[in-house]
Structure 1
């Protein structure tokens, strides 16, 4: 059965505080990554570089980060549906890196997964990303090499693809939510990115929470203003439990994909790492009050973003918004040729994993712990040589996922979206690219393998991915 938000809060408890493309089939079957291409002059630049920002409140030192363009978040890329995204990625970091375009259904060679779709871009080198944004919605981009470190240092930004007919709102705002693990004296990022506790428990969780790199994000509004809030969870492991005060609203899209009809905000919004939600909210607070996007780390809500009401809009209250126009290829119709797949997740602290295969050799759990590896998919730790499945282009598949661990996991599928199966086995859930699962749950998803290439499937609690929770699918 599908888990309600309330069920998830109860069951998760304390853990909530937590070219190888098939364009050339022969080349794809070798499993060798496409070489990083030299950047081409003339494309707009997306440069990964070191920077200093005032992340902690005034009075604390600036924090050293890695950011695209030296900004936090990176530049907001906003374009029309059907337009091309063209960026020359330049790596000015001391580590190799890539850019993954999270949630975008794009050509496999542009997906940014080192070792699977391209080689990592070495320091001083570049790579041209060029693809068409066929879906309207809220997406984001982030580093996918040593991502548990590079994302934690600030390498991410928003990608907004606008509908041809956008909803009537007074402001369209991107809110990138993140937490940071900072030294409380120096305000510098904790550099222990391989801490065994993080890798074996709920993941790397920060002690400083921010919106768009600001501790006290604020935007002036007026009573009866209508806002579109594009929420992006860029945190390594934190699950954001969100609600609104001084406003009423609707969820209109999840993970970039429009809902059939706006859903009233009657329950908290859960955002696992990598997930997004588009809300339309109407300000109901009066002048002099502050409307709030609230975050619940426990039973008490704290402000994630504030909206001081400075006046009264000339417009009166409006009716509920209409649904967004659908994106192409949103249907998932299962048939007799549907492939039935299974994924069993094991390991972690308080888990029941006795042994698993690491680098081709079966290891006891004690040996895995000594190697700082803690999680397995179907008995294999880390990215396997063989795909979880090879599917024909256009074939549908179901995937039963059993979370046989004590912790939540946010399972992200690259290159395609899926729908959760209902009690009858039909794929009727919202179209998403990331599934948030509580410990002990078994859930099933269905999808159409309509995008050729090799696609990663992993936990977006990035410490979990780094310590075993990775696999991949091939669409032939």
Structure 2
């Protein structure tokens, strides 16, 4: 039934980036209708049918309306890009609800193509997971669909298209979901910051990568970091199919803006400030908070036990990941939260932190400063989590992540197979499941994301986790790394487990967690070719 989904769960065969500082590659990613060069801006912005994207609205309550539609996004004072939006902005409207709320989200599709919404990281009922051809039919242009679920688990999450998602998410079709806990420790300021990358001149990619004879031209790619062996700092190159390099992505954004266009974060002396950091892009980004100690209080929405204060360390955020950090505004002045790296767009991913009523001194920054990266496997207070390495498990599965050349370019495999031919993880409700994830790819980074569940990270490269119990739904796996994770099969359904470099997933790196004691009420229409599930 799913043979026609080959490459499907996400569209476009491609491979992209590993780090703020690194080039990488992608194939079959047609950006021509979404990213444009500066010469095209005036012509594109003259089209009256495209409203300008505006600042993100916050939606709360139990009945929420989202409209997927086209708009123009002013990245900065020079570049406006045609994008896909929810309610006219990138990121789309923030959904903010209370733990225990039952929410209904009515989605209207005003795009020229089908779409869906996946609630990334949230344990919704399987029927609400938003994967066309697996859990629902795609929402056709002009149609509406109502998602309904109970907000049981507090934390920071996001939502995005799961239909041709390698293209639609890249066009800006994502937003944030915040579930406030019943007994939340209050903070004085609560900011959500969404990271992404854009291409201002997509038409240059073919000129840059192909020479007159049709041979690949590697001269435009930065190879300086390919062989330094420091995978933990993500300084290797993700070449994929060698058809595209991430140097084309020259605009890095926070909340859809770049550089001076990013709104400052205002604080007052003595306030407790929370920053919710979400990576909606395809590159990992290393962020540096200047001038303050901070604590990492949650990852992927899940709280961390007794997080210790840290300062002048980089927080590496991979595609799909979320980190909540908190700091006390005890150092008046003007400071930055900035990305470190050496790609062209890096300098645009920084936001000012301004103290109200205080003289602002200019923060002297160095985005290439050599700082350590926080090791999440040793962070926080150690204690036994819900799972251990040596307990008995009902299901054990090894996930060997690899690459190979297919008929149409590079493919990305799990145990030598591409989806839908990858072997699923078959479970029953209540099973304890252990998965070993091994990245055998020579250069490609794979941020692996599990739908519908949280897993505990038990070990890295054979070494048990020594920090606080690390519960996640997205895990970045560098070349040569091996992780062991575990989860309980407590949410019946058919769930995707895939790389969140969505171009890797579209080229095969996906499998499913299938409950053998679950029968879905959904039957895909074999005649509906729009159910791409991507």
Counterparts in 2 of 1:86 and 1:333: CA distance versus 1, 3 Å: farther
Write the mapping of 1:349-368 to structure 2, written as runs, cut at 5 A. Answer: 353=404, 365=405, 368=406
Q: Is the 8 A contact 2:19 2:284 kept in 1?
A: no
Q: Give how far 1:283 is off.
A: 2.2
1:49 aligns with 2:69: yes
Q: Is the 8 A contact 2:155 2:181 kept in 1?
A: yes
Q: Is the 8 A contact 1:203 1:461 kept in 2?
A: no
Q: Is the 8 A contact 2:20 2:284 kept in 1?
A: no
| Match among 395, 401, 418 for residue 381 of structure 1 | 418
Q: Give how far 1:244 is off.
A: 0.7
- For 1:185 and 1:307, the matched residues in 2 are separated by 36
Counterparts in 2 of 1:16 and 1:400: CA distance versus 1, 3 Å: farther
Secondary structure at 1:450's aligned position in 2?
A: coil
1:75 aligns with 2:118: no
Q: Is the 8 A contact 1:223 1:311 kept in 2?
A: no
| Match among 455, 459, 469 for residue 495 of structure 2 | 455
Q: Give how far 1:185 is off.
A: 10
Q: Give how far 1:59 is off.
A: 3.7
**Residues 250-309 of structure 1: CA distance to partner in whole angstroms, max 9, x if unpaired?**
0000000011122323431111000000011122332xx312112111499855211122
The structure with the greater share of residues assigned to strand is 1
- For 1:120 and 1:185, the matched residues in 2 are separated by 30
Q: Give how far 1:441 is off.
A: 1.1
Q: Give how far 1:97 is off.
A: 0.8
What RMSD over aligned residues (CA atoms) do the two structures have, in Å? 2.8
Higher relative contact order (CA 8 A, sep 6+): 2
Q: Give how far 1:222 is off.
A: 2.5
1:213 aligns with 2:256: yes
- For 2:171 and 2:195, the matched residues in 1 are separated by 14
Q: Partner of 1:468 in structure 2?
A: 508
Q: Give how far 1:166 is off.
A: 2.1
Secondary structure at 2:505's aligned position in 1?
A: helix
- For 1:203 and 1:436, the matched residues in 2 are separated by 20
Structure 2 gap ranges (5+): 1-17, 25-61, 205-215, 217-237, 360-384, 518-534
Q: Is the 8 A contact 2:278 2:320 kept in 1?
A: yes
Write the mapping of 1:289-438 to structure 2, written as runs, cut at 5 A. Answer: 289-298=333-342, 302=347, 304-311=350-357, 331-332=386-387, 335-347=391-403, 353=404, 365=405, 368=406, 370-384=407-421, 387-405=423-441, 406-422=443-459, 423=462, 429-438=469-478
Q: Give how far 1:63 is off.
A: 1.7
Q: Partner of 1:241 in structure 2?
A: 286
Write the mapping of 1:250-261 to structure 2, written as runs, cut at 5 A. Answer: 250-261=295-306
Q: Is the 8 A contact 1:200 1:464 kept in 2?
A: no
1:278 aligns with 2:333: no
Structure 1 gap ranges (5+): 1-11, 19-41, 187-195, 314-329, 348-352, 354-364
Q: Give how far 1:225 is off.
A: 2.5
Write the mapping of 1:96-111 to structure 2, written as runs, cut at 5 A. Answer: 96-111=114-129
- For 1:382 and 1:182, the matched residues in 2 are separated by 32
Counterparts in 2 of 1:381 and 1:373: CA distance versus 1, 3 Å: farther
Q: Give how far 1:220 is off.
A: 2.2
- For 1:274 and 1:426, the matched residues in 2 are separated by 21
Counterparts in 2 of 1:163 and 1:85: CA distance versus 1, 3 Å: same
**Residues 380-425 of structure 1: CA distance to partner in whole angstroms, max 9, x if unpaired?**
12333x7522111111111111101112110000000111113576
Counterparts in 2 of 1:46 and 1:279: CA distance versus 1, 3 Å: same
Q: Partner of 2:219 in structure 1?
A: none
**Residues 44-82 of structure 1: CA distance to partner in whole angstroms, max 9, x if unpaired?**
321110111212x2144x321110112111000001011
- For 1:155 and 1:375, the matched residues in 2 are separated by 24
| Match among 135, 148, 167 for residue 149 of structure 1 | 167
Q: Partner of 2:241 in structure 1?
A: 200
Q: Partner of 1:162 in structure 2?
A: 180
Normalised by the length of structure 1, the TM-score is 0.76
**Residues 192-215 of structure 1: CA distance to partner in whole angstroms, max 9, x if unpaired?**
xxxx99753698672101111111
Counterparts in 2 of 1:78 and 1:339: CA distance versus 1, 3 Å: same
Secondary structure at 2:305's aligned position in 1?
A: strand
- For 1:239 and 1:174, the matched residues in 2 are separated by 18
